[in-house]
Chain A
Amino acid sequence: MTEEILTTPLEQQEYTINMGPQHPSTHGVLRYVVSLKGEIVHKVEPHLGYIHRGIEKMCEKLTYPQIIHLTDRLDYLTAHINNHAVCLAVEGALQVEVPERVVYIRTIMDELNRIASHQLWWCAYGMDLGGLTCFFYGLRDREKILDIFEESCGSRLLHSYYTPGGLMKDINPNFQKRTKEFIKYFRKKLPEYDQLLTGNVIFQERTKGVGPLTKEEAISYGVTGPNGRASGFSCDVRKHHPYAAYDKVDFKEAFYTEGDTFHRYKARIDEMWESMKIIEQLVDNIPEGDYSAKMKAVIKLPEGEYFQRVEAAKGDFGIFIISDGNKTPYRVKFRSPNFCNLSCIDLLSKNFKIADLVAISGSLDLVIPDIDR
């Protein structure tokens, strides 16, 4: 080994560095073992499990309303959307008709949550590329959404607002007013994001053509969400398998074919615009009615297998429940978008610089607790 090191020229030698589990740009306890030649990335090996909490196993001991609280902790930035998947699965299994009011509120909440998630991603992505000011711009606007959540749900991050059959409680009387105020405010502020980061020459140089993903690769790696759509893989669950009120609203799927880091970025910015459009169409038309359907005190799913997909901010989020007729599920499996999105990191960052690895892994918008579960 020593002889090999001495005889091979320096520029051909490979060395490994550990990025993570404590590293500022892995956004959590993800660990990459990166093989480098000089500054060029040769291989990236993600090591997982630093925040594995056995959520799927824990679900087997918990009732369905309790599972909802655990799904908050998967992708904690889109707690509403994760809750939505569980609720839809349970409601579908029980054939419960959910009041129209609930459907509307859930859709609005989901979209607000999507915007909040993309905002935080935008903050962190700017920071990954060295533009520290982005962080504060994004958080400033996200705060407004969290305030709306706090008013109605009582919490800002881990809401557990949805229950099987409806909502925990009705929305705050201020909800519509504040949501409309936010949309008005954010329509003014979102162009600021473009001014600060998107239009910057350095940013475009750093991202254009970096980490390209083709449509075939996206499909074979199961890359969904804005990442997949930037590569031309039309995978929006809201469009293809509409749930909640998505069949009633008019919105475009953010779609690009280039598949590089810059277009993954663009896809998310576009999604924020589309989400605002969806909210605007719904927020004035929330029908009157109950905020929950009549549900039994103990929810037991009939024996069988149930699967429900929703479009989370990061991609296609699925929950698969096998029930043996008890009040707790026999087995629960989450299809987490981040896990599949992460899987292509080696493919994307090969032969790029180490600085590009940071840009690429940031553009995939990884949330580590969702990967490890």
Chain B
Amino acid sequence: MAFSIYDLTSFNQWVDKGLNSVMSPLWATITEMAIIGVVFLLFYAVVGLFLVYAERKICGFIQCRVGPNRVGPYGIFQTIADFIKLLMKELVPINKADKFLFNLAPFIIIIASMMALAAIPFAKGIHAIDFNIGIFYILAVSSMGVIGILLAGWSSNNKYSLIGAMRSGAQIVSYELSVGLSILTACIMFGSLQLSTIVESQADCWLIFRGHLPAFIAFLIYMIAATAETNRGPFDLAEAESELTAGFHTEYSGIKFAFFFLAEYMNMFLVASIAATIFWGGWMPLHIGHWTGFNMVMDFIPPAVWYLGKTAVIIWLMMWFKWTFPRLRIDQLLTLEWKYLLPINLLNILVMALVVLMGWHF
């Protein structure tokens, strides 16, 4: 890195040393964990609120309207107002529902999305845990969310919810394969599962440019599969409000519904960050070969801005096709995965392996 001022590693070490000199190592670790936890909770809430607002504005512009514009300037406080409303709403108890599972489901969903956030590198040094199996961890944790959806559908004692949950189960189990395989394609290139290494190795050139066609195909497949994983349109069969009223969260109200709502946006943020990290180089600035001047200018932009910018572009892409495409049917959804995406993906891995073996990349 040309500008070491953006490197927060030394700052982290300084904080660590400071804490360790004041208290015992155990308490220092606990304090650090608490600090990181609070920071992440805040980040989670802010990103959730911002994404809800962004989606409303973007879908407003796509649909020839202006979106929220009453509460605060440009309606920026609209989501806050809505969340206060949701917090104060009555939690309707459901007759003959499985109370324990019914209450547990929103937490599982929200915990799954929060845990995955821990392994994302936001910038150099801003990285909660740098696993050597980071990608594996993210995939494992983020697929836990489907348990929450299944439980929500099952425990609601509502047939619509159950249909939605079963659809979602079939959908996520299928598309998990594509997500895994397309990321695997990228990992062949990097030769590592550690997210910090993956980002560092894209310092000269992002994967999407480096890996030629196979990387691009992997990116496309990842985008499709990741959208399906987050249950967003055109793959929002689990909710499918025109068929199943609201799918798995039909019976939820108030803050429990808000949890589902927030988790949906956080999942979107997560898959967008993973796409940005793996395919677009995470917080790495855009570097072009030997254009030293250009590279210097790019280095001047802080890595966190790069990371958030890339994530925002991918989120915008996902919102764009949510608001323009109609919804698929369940059999078409499964056909798309098992008959098209999966074979293409497997072939793509082979091609990628060949590219790496022969050294046909930049």
Q: Which residues of A are in contact with B by a Cβ distance under 8 Å? A: 15, 17, 23-25, 39, 126-133, 135-137, 140, 196-197, 200, 202-203, 205-206, 353-356, 358
Q: Contacts A17-B159, A354-B163 known; A132 to B323 CB distance under 8 Å?
A: yes
Flag if B326 contacts A197 (CB, 8 Å). yes
Asked if B206 lies at the interface with its beta carbon under 8 angstroms from chain A, I say no
Min C-beta distance of A139 to chain B, whole Å: 9
A128 and B242 form a contact (CB under 8 A): yes
B323: chain A residues at CB < 8 Å are 132-133
Stretch of B43-51, B143-151, B232-240 contacting A (4+ beta carbons < 8 Å): B232-240
Query: In chain B between 330 and 347, which residues have their CB closer than 8 angstroms to a CB of chain A?
Result: 330-332
* B242 to A, closest residue via Cβ: A25
Question: Do residues B64 and A129 form an inter-chain contact, with CB atoms below 8 A?
Answer: no
Q: How far apart are the CA atoms of A78 and B43 in the complex, in Å?
A: 52
Q: Which of B160-199 contact A (CB under 8 A)?
A: 160, 163, 167
Is B241 part of the binding interface, using a Cβ–Cβ cutoff of 8 Å?
yes
Q: In the bound complex, how far is the Cα of B330 from the Cα of A354, in angstroms?
A: 10
Q: State which residues 222-262 of B face A: CB under 8 Å.
A: 233-234, 236-237, 240-243, 245
Would A130 and B327 count as touching, CB distance under 8 A? yes
Whether A358 lies near B242 (C-beta < 8 A) is yes
Measured between beta carbons, the chain A residues less than 8 angstroms from B331 are 353
Number of interface residues of B (CB under 8 A): 28
| C-alpha spacing A138/B220, complex, angstroms | 31
Give the interface of B toward A (CB within 8 A).
59, 62-65, 159-160, 163, 167, 233-234, 236-237, 240-243, 245, 323-332
Give the docked Cα–Cα distance between A71 and B148 (Å): 51
Which of B242, B324, B329 is A196 in contact with, Cβ under 8 Å?
B324
A196 → B minimal CB distance (Å): 7
A36 to chain B, nearest CB (A): 8
Docked-complex contact A355 and B240, CB < 8 angstroms: yes
Q: How far is the CB of B322 from chain A (nearest CB, A)?
A: 9
- Min CB–CB distance A339 → chain B (angstroms): 23
Q: Is the CB of A206 within 8 A of B328?
A: yes
Chain B residue nearest to A352 in the complex (CB) = B329
Contacts of B167 in A (CB 8 A): 39
The answer to whether B163 and A39 touch across the interface, beta carbons within 8 angstroms, is yes
| 3 closest Cβ pairs, A-B complex | A130-B327, A136-B63, A131-B326
Show 12 A/B contacts (Cβ-Cβ < 8 Å), sorted by A. Answer: A15-B159, A17-B163, A25-B243, A132-B63, A132-B323, A202-B325, A202-B326, A205-B328, A205-B329, A206-B326, A206-B329, A353-B331
| Distance A202 CA – B234 CA, assembled complex (angstroms) | 9
Asked whether, in the complex, the Cβ of B234 is within 8 Å of the Cβ of A133, the reply is: no
Q: A126 to B323: give the CA distance in the assembly, Å.
A: 11
B181 → A minimal CB distance (Å): 23
Contact A39 B330 (CB under 8 A): yes
- B332→A129 contact, CB < 8 A: no
